[in-house]
Amino acid sequence: MQLGFDLVRRRVEWQGETLVPALAYATPINIQVVSPSRTVATGDFALTARQLPPVLAALASHGITAEALHTHMVSESPPVYFIHFWADGPLTDVVQGIKAALDAAR
């Protein structure tokens, strides 16, 4: 299953042009049920600087690994940061952790 979200919820501009979330800063999340007791998920959260601390805390508190934190663009406004993550565990734990991170971004 693949989901997509716009967590930035602000107009992002680059070189005078408005960027479309799907082409620049969407948050894709991929969830794969591997077995009845194991689910893995990966993706990246596209966030503003204000959203970083609570999302990182929510991921960590649910045992989800933040694998990278960086930017994909240069001189966009506002700056958009990406947290790439990896989750591995029972389906309910993985989904609860992702939901907690999404809630923290709001």
Q: What is the pLDDT of residues 36-61, one digit of tens each?
A: 999 999 999 999 999 999 999 999 99
67-89 pLDDT, tens digit per residue, is 999 998 889 999 999 999 999 99
Sign, Cα dihedral of 39, 86, 53, 5: negative
Type of residue found at 35: S
In this prediction the pTM is: 0.89
SS3 content of the chain, % helix, strand, coil (to 5): 30, 40, 30
The single residue listed with the structure tokens 């993985």 is 94
What CATH number labels 2-105? Answer: 3.30.70
